Amino acid sequence: MNQERSIKNALISVFYKDGLEDIAKELNNLGVTIYSTGGTLSFLEEKGIEVKAVENLTSYPSILGGRVKTLHPKVFGGILSRREKKEDQAHLEEFEIPEFDLVIVDLYPFEETVANGGSESDIIEKIDIGGISLIRAAAKNHKDVLTVSSRNQYPELLKLLQEKKGKSNLDDRKSLAIKAFQISSHYDTSIHNYFNQNAFEPNLKISEEESKVLRYGENPHQRGIFYGKMDDIFTKLHGKELSYNNLLDVDAAVNLMLDYQNESSTFAILKHNNACGFATREKLVDAYKDALAGDPISAFGGILISNKTIDLETAEEINQLFCEVVIAPNYEESALEVLKQKKNRIVLKQHNTSLEKYTVRTTLNGYLVQEKDLAVEKKDALTTVTKLSPSESEVEDLIFASKLVKHTKSNAIVLVKNKQLLASGTGQTSRVDALQQAIVKAKHFGFDLDGAVMASDAFFPFPDCVEIANKEGIKSVIQPGGSIKDELSIKYCDDNKMKMVFTGIRHFKH
C-alpha cells in the first residue's frame, strides 16, 4: 500500500542550522505551516521565513535555561496521533492540537563535546532530552510522519519536497525512520560508553555510524565490512582500497609500532599479523635494510611500517620490493613520488590518534572483551634470576625482543641481536617447536646466533628451551617466569653461564 501523505504542518528544532534555509523556504512555498523553538525560531525569522513559535502553541515558555521546550502533549500529541484512529482525531480536535507531518530535529553534539575535551558540565548539558524524544516519536509514527534527524538528510528531504511537492509515501517515511532509530541508538550508546569508560560493566554496547563495504572478507567467498572512522587514523595518499586482510595486518603493524614510537629509526615488515622483519638503527634506510634481511621471502606482499618520516633513500629501497601497504607518520615529497610509482601500492600517512583500549571478538554465541595488552617491560622491572646478569647492551636487546614477542602469535619465541629480529617462531603448539622454527629460519638467512638473545611469550615448563638455545650460542633469555619448575631452567642457565631475567608478565596472543 502506497499510503501517500501530504505535509501540512512541520516542526523544526535543530542545533545545526547550515542547509536549513533552503528546506524552510521550500516548505513555505508549499504552504506548509512551520513551528519552531528558540534559536531555530530566531534563525528562520531572520531569514524572512514565516514561522510559528511552539511556545504559542503550548502556552508554556522555554524553561530551565532551554532544558524544557518541546516536552508537551500539544507537541507530542501532534506527532504521535494516528490518522486512521477516530479517538486520536477527537483528542486533537478537543485540545486544539495540530498534526505534525514532518519533524526536523537533530541532537546536541554530545560526541563532539567529549572528543573536544569539554568539561563534565558541558558534556552533561549536551545530553539531549527533547530532541531524542521527538525523533523517536516521529519515527515510531512513520506510518504518518516524515522524520529528518540529521543535517546529512537535508539533500534527500529537499529533493523529495521539490519532486513530490510536499508528499511522501510509506517507503520514504520508513527509510528515514530507520535512519532516525539508528541515530538515536548510536547517541544513547555514546552516552552510556562515556559514563562507563572507566568501568568494566557486564554489558557491551558498540555503535559505529560509518562503514565501508570491502571487496570481500578473509576469502573471496566471504563478505566483509569495516565499521569505523578510518580517516581518523590514516590519510590514504595512494593506491587501491584496503582489503579485509590488509586491515588485519595494518592493525597489527600499528599496535606493534606503538611500543617503539620513541625509539630511533625503526622499521617493521609484517605478514599475517606477525613481524617477519624488524630493526632499529640510526638511519631509517639501514633499519629498513636490516628488517628486510630478517626474512626477504616473507616480506613479499607484506605490510611495511616506520616510526619516522620516510625519506627518498629509504623509498628507493622500498620500491624494489612488492609490498601491499606502506605506513609512516609522514613522507618526504620526493619519497612519496617514488612510492607512487606502483599503481596499487597503498601508501598511508598515520595520524597521532589513540586507539581503542579494549579488544572485542565474536565467540560462540557471544563476544569476548578484554583490555588490550599494553604492558611494556622496563629495565628497572626486570628480575635477574641467574648468577650472571646481562650486560647493558643485552638488557636493551632483551627488552627489544620482549616487546616483539608480545605482538607475535602464541606459542612464540623471538631471537634478537643488536636490535634486529633474526627470526621468530610463531603460532606453534609447543614452545620447543617455536624455538626450533626460529633457529632454522635464522640459519637459513645466514644469521649467526652467537650472542643473540631469546624472548618467550610465556614461561618454560621445562629447561629444554634454554638447553636448545645454549647449544646455538644464545646466552641471554627473557621470559615471564612462573612455572613450578622454574628452578630447573635457572639451574641449567647457571651451570652453563647463561643469563636469564623474569618479567612477571605473560604475553599470550591468540
Closest of 254, 294, 284, 233 to residue 420, by C-alpha: 294
Using CB atoms within 10 Å of the CB of residue 163, give its burial: 0 to 12 exposed, 13 to 18 middle, 19+ buried.
Answer: exposed
Q: What residue type is assigned to position 453 of the chain?
A: V
Residue ranges in 165-239 assigned as alpha helix (H)? 170-195
Name the E strands within 352-420.
358-363, 366-371, 383-384, 413-416
Q: Give the total residue count for the chain.
A: 510
**Helix, strand, coil shares, percent, the chain, to 5:** 40, 20, 40
C-alpha cell at 182: 539508528
Residues in contact with 84: Cβ distance below 8 Å, sequence separation at least 6, in sequence order? none
The H or E element containing residue 471 is helix 464-471
DSSP 450: T
Q: Which amino acid is at 50?
A: E
Q: Is the dihedral of CA 89, 92, 97, 100 positive or negative?
A: negative
Is 349 strand, coil or helix? strand
**Could you give the CA distance from residue 23 to residue 41 in angstroms, rounded to a whole number?**
14
- Please confirm, yes or no, whether 140 is among the known catalytic residues: yes
Catalytic residue among 52, 140, 240, 443: 140
Give, as one character, the DSSP assignment of residue 288: H
> Which is catalytic among the residues 272, 289, 340, 443?
272
Is 406 in the active site? no
Which cell numbers hold the place of 119?
Answer: 568539561
**Catalytic residue set:** 140, 272
